[in-house]
C-alpha cells in the first residue's frame, strides 16, 4: 500500500492540475468574471478565468436537470403537473395544475424556453420532491460528471445563496451532457412547436448566437441564464468542422458581454488548437519504463506544437510550448519481454544422485586400496 499511495497521489495531482491550470498563452479581455473553454471531444482545458471561484449559474442549472432526467427517467412517461410547479416565478411554459405531459416535452420546454415550471415538474417526477431531487442531483454530478465545487438546491436556477457552481464545473457538466444525443438535439433546437393546455406557440431559443441574432458560424447549442443577483450566464457549444468547443461564462454585467466573451473564447480555441491522434501502440519512455495507448487516442495540442511528457505511472501530459498543461492521457505499461531459459534435459546417465553414488564408490575403493597398500608395506617391514 505504501508503494501504491504515491502513484495515486501523483495521478490525482496531475488530473487536478489539468482542471486548474490555464492553458492560455495570452490573456483575453473578458468582461465575465468566470470563464472556461474546453475541447468538447477530448476534454482538454484550453482557457480559463477564475475557473474554481464560487458563482451562481441561474438558468444554465437546467443543463444539469435535463441530463439527469434524461438518464434517469422514461422520456415517454406522462408527468402530472403539481400546483407547486405552476406557481414558480420567472420564465414559464404556462403549465396548468393537473395537466399531464410527456417527460420529453417538459425537458424541451425547460431547455428551449427556460420554463421554471417545467423544471419543477421534472424534479417532482424524478425524485418526488424538489429537495430530494437536489440531493440526488448533487450526488449524480459528483459521481457521474466529476464536479467538485457545485451544490444545487433547485432544478431551475432561481437564486439561492446555497445554489452555486463554478465556470469549470459548468463546462464539465455541459461537456458531459452533450455526449447524449437526446440532450444534444434539444440543446441545439432553435424553434419548436409547443402545444399545452394553456399555451400553443412556437418556442424559440433565448440564446442569441444559436438563433442567429448575434451571428457566429458553427454554433451547435446553448443555454442562457440571468437573475439580478446572479448576473448574466451562458453555456455554448460550437463546431468549425475540425474541432468542437464548449464555452461557459459566468457573472457578466451586460447581456452583450456574455456573447462577446463567448465569441472571444471560440476565436481563441479555433485559432490556436488542433486535434492530433496518438496511434495505438506508440511507445513513450521514461525511467527505463515503456508505456503505450491501447487504442488510437485523440488529443488536443496547440498549432505551434506541444510537449509530451510521461510520468513513471504512465500518465502522459500534453503541454504547450511554455509548459502549461492542456490535457492528460493515461497510458498502459508495456511489460518487458521475459528472458527465455533453455531447458536442459537430465538423462538417467546425468542424474545428479547417481553421479554422487558413483563418486562415493570410487572414493570407497580408493580408501580400501590405500589401506591395503599400507598393510602390505607394514608386513614386509616386519619380515626384514
CATH architecture of 29-273: 3-Layer(aba) Sandwich (3.40)
Query: Which SS3 state, helix, strand or coil, does residue 223 take?
Result: strand
Residue among 308, 346, 350 at smallest CA distance from 326: 308
- Residuewise pLDDT in 10s, the chain (384 residues): 444 444 333 333 334 333 333 455 579 999 999 999 999 999 999 999 999 999 999 999 999 999 999 999 999 999 999 999 999 999 999 999 999 999 999 999 999 999 999 999 999 999 999 999 999 999 999 999 999 999 999 999 999 999 999 999 999 999 999 999 999 999 999 999 999 999 999 999 999 999 999 999 999 999 999 999 999 999 999 999 999 999 999 999 999 999 999 999 999 999 999 998 888 888 888 877 888 898 889 999 998 878 888 888 888 888 877 777 888 888 888 888 776 655 555 554 556 666 666 667 767 777 777 777 777 666 665 555
How far are the Cα atoms of 36, 38, 154, 180, 350 from residue 54, in angstroms, in the given order?
Answer: 13, 19, 17, 27, 80
Apex CA 324: angle with CA 318 and CA 328, to 5°?
A: 30
Alpha helix ranges (H) inside the chain: 4-20, 61-72, 83-86, 103-112, 116-127, 130-140, 167-177, 181-187, 255-272, 352-383
Q: What does the pLDDT read at residue 221?
A: 98
**What CA–CA distance (Å, rounded) separates 358 from 130?**
92
Burial class (CB in 10 A: 0-12, 13-18, 19+), 152: buried
Contact 154, 138 (CB under 8 A): no
Q: What does the pLDDT read at residue 355?
A: 60
Query: Which SS3 state, helix, strand or coil, does residue 239 take?
Result: strand
Q: What does the pLDDT read at residue 249?
A: 98
DSSP category for residue 141 = I
State the catalytic residues: 59, 62, 114
**What does the pLDDT look like over 9-38, one tens digit per residue?**
333 333 433 333 345 557 999 999 999 999
Secondary structure in 3-state letters for 240-287: CCCCEEEEEEEEECCHHHHHHHHHHHHHHHHHHEEEEEECCCCCEEEC
How far are the Cα atoms of 14, 290, 335, 355 from residue 3, in angstroms, in the given order?
Answer: 18, 19, 19, 48
Burial class (CB in 10 A: 0-12, 13-18, 19+), 308: middle
**What CA–CA distance (Å, rounded) separates 340 from 122?**
64
Q: What does the pLDDT read at residue 343?
A: 55
Tally of CB atoms within 10 A around 46 = 26
Amino acid at each position: 500500500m505504501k508503494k501504491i499511495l504515491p502513484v495515486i497521489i501523483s495521478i490525482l495531482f496531475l488530473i487536478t492540475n489539468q482542471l486548474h491550470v490555464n492553458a492560455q498563452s495570452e490573456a483575453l479581455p473578458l468582461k465575465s468574471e468566470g470563464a472556461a473553454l474546453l475541447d468538447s471531444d477530448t476534454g482538454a482545458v484550453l482557457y480559463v478565468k477564475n475557473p474554481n471561484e464560487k458563482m451562481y449559474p441561474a438558468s444554465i442549472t437546467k443543463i444539469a436537470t435535463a441530463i439527469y432526467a434524461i438518464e434517469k427517467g422514461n422520456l415517454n412517461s406522462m408527468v402530472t403537473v403539481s400546483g407547486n410547479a405552476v406557481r414558480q416565478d420567472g420564465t414559464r411554459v404556462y403549465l396548468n395544475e393537473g395537466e399531464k405531459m410527456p417527460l420529453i416535452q417538459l425537458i424541451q420546454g425547460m431547455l428551449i424556453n427556460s420554463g421554471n415550471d417545467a423544471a419543477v415538474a421534472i424534479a417532482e417526477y424524478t425524485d418526488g420532491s424538489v429537495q430530494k431531487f437536489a440531493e440526488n442531483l448533487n450526488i449524480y454530478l459528483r459521481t457521474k460528471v466529476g464536479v467538485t465545487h457545485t451544490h444545487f438546491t433547485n432544478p431551475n436556477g432561481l437564486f439561492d445563496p446555497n445554489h452555486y457552481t463554478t465556470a469549470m464545473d459548468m463546462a464539465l457538466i455541459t461537456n458531459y451532457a452533450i455526449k447524449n444525443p437526446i440532450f444534444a438535439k434539444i440543446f441545439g433546437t432553435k424553434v419548436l412547436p409547443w402545444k399545452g393546455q394553456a399555451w400553443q406557440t412556437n418556442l424559440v431559443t433565448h440564446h442569441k448566437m444559436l438563433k442567429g441574432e448575434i451571428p457566429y458560424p458553427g454554433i451547435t447549442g446553448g443555454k442562457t441564464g440571468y437573475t439580478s443577483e446572479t448576473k448574466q450566464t451562458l453555456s455554448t457549444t460550437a463546431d468549425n468542422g475540425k474541432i468542437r468547443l464548449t464555452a461557459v461564462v459566468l457573472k457578466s454585467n451586460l447581456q452583450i458581454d456574455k456573447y462577446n466573451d463567448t465569441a472571444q473564447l471560440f476565436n481563441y480555441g479555433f485559432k490556436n488548437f488542433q486535434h492530433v491522434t496518438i496511434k495505438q501502440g506508440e511507445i513513450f519512455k521514461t525511467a527505463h519504463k515503456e508505456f503505450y495507448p491501447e487504442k488510437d487516442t485523440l488529443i488536443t495540442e496547440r498549432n505551434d506544437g506541444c510537449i509530451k511528457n510521461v510520468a513513471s505511472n504512465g500518465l502522459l501530459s500534453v503541454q504547450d510550448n511554455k509548459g502549461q498543461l492542456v490535457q492528460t492521457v493515461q497510458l498502459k505499461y508495456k511489460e518487458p519481454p521475459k528472458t527465455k531459459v533453455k531447458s536442459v534435459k537430465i538423462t538417467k546417465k546425468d542424474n545428479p544422485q547417481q553421479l554422487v553414488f558413483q563418486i562415493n564408490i570410487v572414493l570407497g575403493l580408493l580408501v580400501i586400496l590405500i589401506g591395503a597398500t599400507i598393510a602390505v608395506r607394514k608386513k614386509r617391514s616386519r619380515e626384514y
